[in-house]
Structure formats: structure tokens, C-alpha cells
Amino acid sequence: MSATYHSCPEREWFTSFEKLDGCLVSFGEGIGTVRIKLSEEIVNKLKDARYVPQLKKNVILIGALKAKGLRGTLRENVLKMFNGSLVV
């Protein structure tokens, strides 16, 4: 099984939220925008994330980020996603 949406078990992290009635649990109980803290200075938003309270951790899909034009690097088990150029 593969995931199709970013997912989050924390309802209070959503800045916008629309309840999804009649959906199977695997699709989530709602959809909205989640604010995620990337560092002390940087907070980003994941749009169209699903609220799935049964999860133990957040699910962030690299493919969905890449489809929106972001690129990434993976070094020493740390993934960094960015928009635009990156000086290495």
C-alpha cells in the first residue's frame, strides 16, 4: 500500500480544516493545511493534508513535494527539501 496524501494525527496543527463525511478511515477524517516547524525560524505549510488520528507519526510525501516543484538532497540520513537554487 502506498500513501497518496500528506497525513497528520494532530488536529490542532491544522490551520484550515474541512471535515470529510462518509470517508473510509484510510482516507482520513478531514482535509486541510498543516503548519510544520522546520527550525526555530522557519514554519512551512502542507496543503491538502489528511487528518488521520490513528497515525502515530506524520506522513510527508516526497513525491507530492517534488510535484509542486521542490527539490531535495539526502545526506547523512537528513533530507532537505528546497525551492529554487541551493548552494552546496
pLDDT attached to residue 26: 59
2 assigned to some structural domain: no
The total number of structural domains that make up the chain = 1
- Residues 2 and 26: their CA atoms lie apart, in Å, by 11
**Structural domain includes residue 88:** no
Note the pLDDT of residue 74: 83
Instruction: Answer whether 75's CB lies under 8 Å from 86's CB.
Output: no
Residue 84 backbone class (left: φ over 0; alpha: ψ -120 to 50; beta: rest) = left
13 within some domain:
yes
**87 in a structural domain:** no
Segments forming the whole domain that contains residue 21? 7-82
pLDDT digits over 23-73, tens only?
555 567 889 999 877 677 777 788 889 999 889 988 888 888 888 788 888
Q: Is the per-residue pLDDT at 14 higher than 90?
A: yes
- pLDDT score at 15: 92
Q: What's the pLDDT band for 1 if we cut at 50, 70, 90?
A: very low
pLDDT at residue 56, as a whole number: 92
| pLDDT class of 83 with cuts at 50, 70, 90 | confident
